[in-house]
Amino acid sequence: MRRPCVVVFLLAAAFPAAAQQTAGCDSPESKQLDFWVGEWDLTYGDGGKGTNRITKILDGCAILEEFTGAPGVKLNGRSFSTFDVATRRWKQAWVDDSGAYLDFTGSREDGRMVFAREATRGEKKFLQRMVFADVTPQSLLWTWQRSDDGKEWKTLWEIRYKRVR
C-alpha cells in the first residue's frame, strides 16, 4: 500500500518546479495582477467598445483573460498569465482570432505592471510592451507601446477599463 507515496514522490522528483509552484501561488508577487480580475467594459480609439473578463484559474495560479472586441470588429483573444517562481517574473501568452501569438515577460515598474517582448518584422527587431497604469478599484488605463531603441516608447493603442463587477 505504499504506491501512492511512491507516485507522489516520483512526480515531485520529475517535476520539481510544479511541486514548488503551489507555494508561489500565494506569494505577494503572485497577487500583483489581482487588480485586473473582474468584468470590464472597454473603450478605445474613436468610439471602439469591447469587454474583458478576467478570472483566476488553476487554484489561483493563473489568470485567464477573455477579450471581446467591438461588435463587427474581428478581435477576440485569450491570454494566460502566471507568476513564474523560478524566474521571479510574470509570464503571459496571448492568442487571438487573427492568428496572433504573443509571449511576454512582466513585472512591476514605477508602480505599474509592465509586460514586454522582443518582436521581429522582416529584418527589423523592436520592442513591444503593454502597461497597466492609473489603476483604481473601478478603472485602469492599458496602453500598447512600441520602441525601436528600448528608450523611447510610442503609444499605439490605449484602452480605458471601467469595472462592471
**pLDDT for position 1:** 52
With residue 67 as reference, give the H or E element that holds it. Answer: strand 62-68
**pLDDT for position 47:** 83
CB 2 within 8 A of CB 61: no
CB 153 within 8 A of CB 146: yes
Please give the average pLDDT of every successive group of 10 residues along the chain, which has 165 residues. Answer: 46 49 74 96 89 95 93 88 95 96 95 96 95 97 96 96 93
CB 153 within 8 A of CB 129: yes
Type of residue at 110: D
Show the domains of the chain with their CATH numbers: 28-163 (2.40.128.20)
